Amino acid sequence: MSTPLAPALAGKRVLICVGSGGVGKTTAAAALALRASADGRSSLVCTIDPAKRLANSLGLTALGNAETRVPATALEPLGIQPRAPLYAMMLDMKQTWDELIARVASPEQRERILSNRFYQSLSTALAGSQEYISMEKLWELRRSSNYELIVLDTPPTAHALDFLDAPNRVLDFLDNDAAKFLLTPALKAGKLGMSLFNRGGYVMRGLAKFTGTEMLQELSNFLLAISSLNEGFRERARGVRQLLEDPNTGFVLVTSPHPERMDEAIHFHKMLKQHRMEVVSLVVNRVHPMPTPSLWEDAATLTPSRRAKVEETLREQQVMAEQDHAGIAQLQAACPGVPIVQVPRFAMDVHDISALWRTGRYLVGDESHG
């Protein structure tokens, strides 16, 4: 019984794994790319801050946006010959921002921007800037490379909104005609407009109370420098948007069976729908299996003290399995019509290539849970 992820791996050109932090997004992304390459499509998985052992298992050691081919030796334990190459990379946020500025700015603008301390905050601290830059990188990769499939892992967002809003937020931010209009005359004169009759000046003085005049002046300089890049940014953002809405792009919404993570997933799903983006599947990771009746029967044959220990453990497993089951039912009710794929909790964390492969088997439906 194959899941909707099987045709997606065969047909989509971009898959984006989204979800809260700590639900196993990176693992899901790597497992999907691995499977696609095994089935014959050249694939790239673009990860963000993967666990060290996971990175090692993919032969990933180089940071900083280098796409590296996963070596045959790393895939040996699987005992299969992938029919197409698999590539992996770790996204470096700061470097990606710098590259972007280098692309859209003239050389003298570039220096001015890169050395400005407000740029530092844009590239690292502005809410949504990580999300924006990961989308931007995806678009760049999709435009300039020949992988048949790119699977993107995304930053752990505190708020689902950040992710879809980010491009708009960053753009909106850069699109500061109002700032230009109000600031340019004053800046050209070398000071902020302080005339009482100039509403802008009045506002600026109020703000200066808050920040100090010097900082405002420096910020204005930066905004003017960056606003000249607007057109370049805007064009790219349109490209990103189109890519996200493209029928060859799909989202995989990853969650864990925790009630809180589920709430976040439901919210995420709503957002994606509102943005007309296709959710290929929900993936619920680390689901606890329900102990089978035969286990209970078997336990009843043990000596009393062992029986007590085993039965207590089975009872605990049952509670966890019931919790997960109830959570998944709620998730299904909240996202009607969206397929849910379950991946069971393995005895050990998924960090090696064999466990990745096994995860992939559940994702496409070779094996199923529950």
Residues in contact with another protein by the rule CB under 8 A? 20-23, 51-53, 117-118, 120-122, 125-127, 156, 158, 173, 176, 178-179, 182, 200, 202-203, 206-207, 209-212, 214-216, 219, 223, 256, 258-261, 263-264, 291, 294-295, 298-299, 302-303, 306, 309-310, 312-317, 319-320, 322-323, 347-349, 351
Q: Residue 302 CB, nearest distance to another protein (Å)?
A: 8
Q: Residue 161 CB, nearest distance to another protein (Å)?
A: 12
Q: Residue 33 CB, nearest distance to another protein (Å)?
A: 20
Q: Residue 169 CB, nearest distance to another protein (Å)?
A: 8
Q: H or E segment at 253?
A: strand 249-255
For 365, phi then psi, to 5°, come to 100, 15
Q: Residue 51 CB, nearest distance to another protein (Å)?
A: 5
Tokens of 125: 């601290």
Strand arrangement of the beta sheet that strand 43-47 belongs to: 68-69, 86-90, 43-47, 149-153, 14-18, 249-255, 279-287, 340-344
Q: Residue 227 CB, nearest distance to another protein (Å)?
A: 11
Q: Residue 210 CB, nearest distance to another protein (Å)?
A: 6
Q: Residue 132 CB, nearest distance to another protein (Å)?
A: 14
For another protein, the closer of residues 114 and 207 by Cβ is 207
Tokens of 312: 């207590």
For another protein, the closer of residues 232 and 289 by Cβ is 289
Q: Give one DSSP letter per residue of 268-309, joined into a string.
A: HHHHHHHTT--EEEEEEEEEPPPPPHHHHHHHTTS-HHHHHH
For another protein, the closer of residues 65 and 317 by Cβ is 317
Distance CA 351, CA 285 (A): 14
For another protein, the closer of residues 13 and 325 by Cβ is 325
Burial of 46 (0-12, 13-18, 19+ CB in 10 A): buried
For another protein, the closer of residues 226 and 363 by Cβ is 226
Residue 351 · residue 57 · CB < 8 Å: yes
Distance CA 225, CA 183 (A): 12
The residue type found at 353 is: I
For another protein, the closer of residues 321 and 341 by Cβ is 321
Look up tokens 């606890």; give the residue. 288
Q: Report helix angle 129-144 to 160-174, nearest 10.
A: 80
Q: Residue 183 CB, nearest distance to another protein (Å)?
A: 9
For another protein, the closer of residues 204 and 244 by Cβ is 204
The residue type found at 276 is: R
For another protein, the closer of residues 182 and 237 by Cβ is 182
Tokens of 306: 């062992």
Distance CA 300, CA 11 (A): 50
For 17, phi then psi, to 5°, come to -90, 120
For another protein, the closer of residues 259 and 370 by Cβ is 259
Query: CA angle at residue 48 from 45 to 50, to 5 degrees?
Result: 90
For another protein, the closer of residues 278 and 311 by Cβ is 311
Find the radius of gyration of the CA atoms of the chain: 25
Tokens of 303: 């000596």
Residue 89 CA from chain centroid, whole number: 14
Burial of 3 (0-12, 13-18, 19+ CB in 10 A): buried
Q: Residue 316 CB, nearest distance to another protein (Å)?
A: 5
